A and B are shown apart, each in its own frame.
Chain A
Amino acid sequence: MSFQIDCPNCGCRPVWEYHYGGTPRQRPESSATERQWAEYLYNRPNIAGEQTEWWYHRSACKLWFLVRRDTRTNQVLETKRFDGTAVTSEKSEKAVQSAE
C-alpha cells in the first residue's frame, strides 16, 4: 500500500478507498473572459511539493474533506474538515511514518 489518509470520520484508511478531488479553485466572476473561464476549467497548479487538496471517502463515509500532502513523497501532512478544523490523531502520526 502506498499511503494512508486520516478521514475525519473513519480514521486512517488506505488511499484506494478515497477519490482525489484536485486542489480547491476560485470560480471566476460571471464577467470573466473566455480565457479566464478556460484557465479555471482546465489549468492545474500541479505542484511538485506541498499542496492542499480535496479528497472524498468514496468507499466508506462519503465525506469530502481537505488534505495537505507532499506530492513528491505522498506524505500526508495534515487533514482538515472543510470548515477548517484540523484532524489530529495518533493514527495520523502512523500515516506519516508509512509514507516515508
Chain B
Amino acid sequence: MVAQRMWQEHELKDQYDVVIIGGGVHGLATAYYLTQLGVRNIAVLEAKYVGFGGSGRNTAIVRSNYRTPEGIAFYDLSVKLYEQLAADLEFNVMFSQHGHLTLAHNEKGVTGLTERANTNQLMGVNSRIIFPEEIQRIVPDLNVFGHSRFPIQAALYHPPGGIIRHDAVVWAFARGVDRGGGHVHQKTEVTGIEVQNGQVEAVVTNRGRIKTKAVLNATAGYAGIISRMVGLEIPIETHPLQAAVTEPLKPFLNSVIVSSTLHVYVSQTDRGELVLGAEVDDHASYSLRGTLSFLEGAATHLLELFPHLANVKILRQWAGLCDMTPDYSPIMGGTPDVKGFLMTVGWGTYGFKAGPASGYLMAELIASGKTPPKLEPFALTRFYEDRLVGEKAAASVSH
C-alpha cells in the first residue's frame, strides 16, 4: 500500500480569492475555516515548510486564564475549539487538560493572581486561587515547604489548561485545508505585494505572480517585513524566545507550572520529557540561535521548584521568533490604509493556543466582510485610540 500524503502539491494558480501568507497555525486555521464557510479558491503560501515558524517551536501550552475580559473571552473560545478539534479534523491532537498553575511568591503576586481569578470567574472560566497545602496535593514533587529563596505562597489554578501536540495541530489543519479544496504551497516565499489606489491587487512570489484582492499576513516573527511590503508600519518588534527539553523521565508532573518571579515554566510531555522555558530574549533579533545563558537561567530556576531534578540531562534547546506588541495582545483585522490587506499578527509568545479562535473569527471576517464582536478589541486602530488590551502580567512568562 502506498502511504497517503497528508496534503497534495499543486501548481501555483495565477489567481486566488484569498492569499494567506504563513503556514503556521494561524494561517492554516484561517484557511481551514474559510473552506468550511465555502470559500475554497484560496492558497496558503509558506516560505519554508508547514510549521517552520513558532507553530513548530512552541511549548504547546493552552489556557484561557488571562487578565482582561476581552482576552479571556477570546482565549476561552480557542480552548473550546481545541476541545473538539481532534473530532473536527479526524486527527489525534493529544490535548491533555491536566491543569495549569501560576505560582505567587510574594504579596504582590498573590494580589495580581487574585484579581485574575475573579475576572476569570466572572467570565465563566474555571480558575481559582489555591494555597500551599492544596498546591502540594496537586503537585507532590514541587518544593512547596522545603528550603527556598522565594517560598510559594499561593497559585492561580486553572484546571482546563494543559498541553497539546503542536505538530499534530498544524498537520491536521493543513490536511483540513487540502480536503476542503484549498491549496497549501510550501517553499513559496512572498517577495512583494502590489497595491493600486489603496487596494491590494497581487502577491509576488518566488514561483510567480498571483492576482488577488485579499491577503492575510500570518507570518508572526516576520510580520513587519510583510506589512512593510504595503507600506504599513506596525507596533511589533521581533524577539527570540527559547526553550529546552530534558531526557524522558517517569511521569511525575501532571500540571503546567509557571513562576513569573523565578522566570521559568515547565511541563512534562506524554513521552516523559520536561519542557522548560522563560521570557523572550531582551533584544530584538531574527536569529534562531539558542544561548547558554538562557539554559543556565532556566535550569537554575527550575531547580528551585524541583531540586530533585539536579542530575537530569538536557537533550536539546532551540529558539523561535516572536512578534511582540506593546500590550502583549494580538492584532487582528484590516487596516483603513490598505484595502484587502488583513493581519493576524502580534501573537508573541502566546499565540499557539489562539490558532483555532483566530482562524475561526478571521475566516468569518474575510467571508462576510464584517468584524465579529470578539475581534473588535484587537484592531490595529486600538493603538491610535488608546484602547490597549494589557496582558503582560498574564503572558510574559506564562505562554
- Could you list which residues of chain A lie within 8 angstroms of chain B, going by C-beta atoms? 1-2, 14-16, 19-20, 22, 34-35, 38-39, 41-46, 48, 53, 71-74
Contacts and interface: CB of A to CB of B under 8 A. Distances in A.
Contacts of A38: 383-384, 386
B236 A46 contact: yes
Contacts of A71: 238, 284-287
B283 A43 contact: no
11 contacts: A22-B237, A22-B284, A35-B384, A39-B384, A41-B326, A44-B236, A45-B233, A46-B224, A48-B238, A53-B283, A74-B287
Interface stretch (B153-161, B210-218, B289-297): B289-297
State the majority secondary structure of interface residues on B: loop
A34 B381 CA distance: 12
A20 B284 contact: yes
Query: In this complex, which of A2, A14, A72 has the most chain B Cβ atoms within 10 angstroms of its Cβ?
Result: A2
A34 B384 contact: yes
Nearest to B297: A16
B289 A2 contact: yes
Nearest to A34: B384
Interface in B237-286: 237-238, 282-286
Contact of B282 (A1, A14, A19, A45): A19
B50 to A, nearest CB: 22
Contacts of B222: 48
Contact of B233 (A1, A22, A41, A43): A43
A60 B199 CA distance: 52
B231 interface: no
A10 B235 CA distance: 34
A27 B326 CA distance: 18
Given A1-B293, A2-B291, A16-B291, 18 more contacts: A2-B287, A16-B293, A19-B282, A20-B283, A22-B284, A38-B383, A41-B326, A41-B383, A42-B235, A42-B383, A43-B235, A44-B236, A45-B233, A48-B238, A53-B284, A71-B284, A71-B285, A71-B287
B130 interface: no
A34 B382 CA distance: 12
A88 B386 CA distance: 44
A44 B85 CA distance: 36
B286 A15 contact: no
B234 A43 contact: yes
Nearest to B223: A46
Contact of A42 (B283, B285, B293, B326): B326
Contact of B286 (A16, A22, A72): A72
B225 interface: yes
Contacts of B234: 43
Nearest to B291: A2
A1 B292 contact: yes
A58 to B, nearest CB: 9
B219 to A, nearest CB: 11
Nearest to A21: B283
A2 B326 CA distance: 25
Contacts of A22: 237, 284
A65 B294 CA distance: 24
